Amino acid sequence: MHEVPLEQFEAMVEGAVADLPDEFRERLENVTFAVEERAAGADYARMRLAPGSTLLGVYRGVPLTQRGRGYNMALPDTIVIFRQPIQRLARDEQDLVERVRHVVRHEVAHYFGISDDRLREIGAY
């Protein structure tokens, strides 16, 4: 386990977003990034996971691949990174940075409509 202050964790998330390849980062629109301590019951229900499962992040929104012409004037989608479970898994600060980076990229993939199954297929899970 490696814990850091909330501000430092948020900076890691911001750094992970800034480090996204340009072709992805530049296409992020109407999406915000947030840090929460842990997943809520609704997150587990939405993901069809049992409460108590390890959930490191979640994409709350409509993936680009599912947006139709009528998709406008919508509130921003949100990518949430869960601080406590990621810190619990991290061995040290560098491992924490890498885990945050991985979770950010994973959730951004969902924003672009890439499923967990597809992420497994390409070895990005």
For the segment 66-122, what is each residue's pLDDT rounded down to a tens digit?
Answer: 877 777 777 889 999 999 999 999 999 999 999 999 999 999 999 988 877 787 777
pTM above 0.85, yes or no: yes
Q: Inform me whether the pLDDT recorded for 57 exceeds 80.
A: yes
pLDDT of residue 50: 80
**Count of other CB atoms within 10 angstroms of residue 49:** 13
| Number of domain units in the chain | 1
70 part of a folded domain: no
| Nearest residue to 79 via CA among 50, 53, 51, 110 | 110
pLDDT of residue 15: 97
pLDDT of residue 125: 60
pLDDT of residue 46: 85
122 part of a folded domain: no
Quick: pLDDT tens for 2-44. 999 999 999 999 999 999 999 999 999 889 999 999 998 888 8
What is the identity of the amino acid at 1? M
User: Could you tell me where the beta strands, DSSP code E, fall in 51-108?
Assistant: 57-60, 77-82
Strand partners, 63: none
Where residue 19 sits, what CATH number does that domain have?
A: 3.30.2010.20
What is the identity of the amino acid at 7? E
Do residues 64 and 30 lie in contact, with contact meaning Cβ atoms separated by under 8 Å?
A: no
- Cα torsion through 46, 96, 36, 1, rounded to 10: 90
Q: What is the span of the domain harbouring residue 42?
A: 6-64+75-117
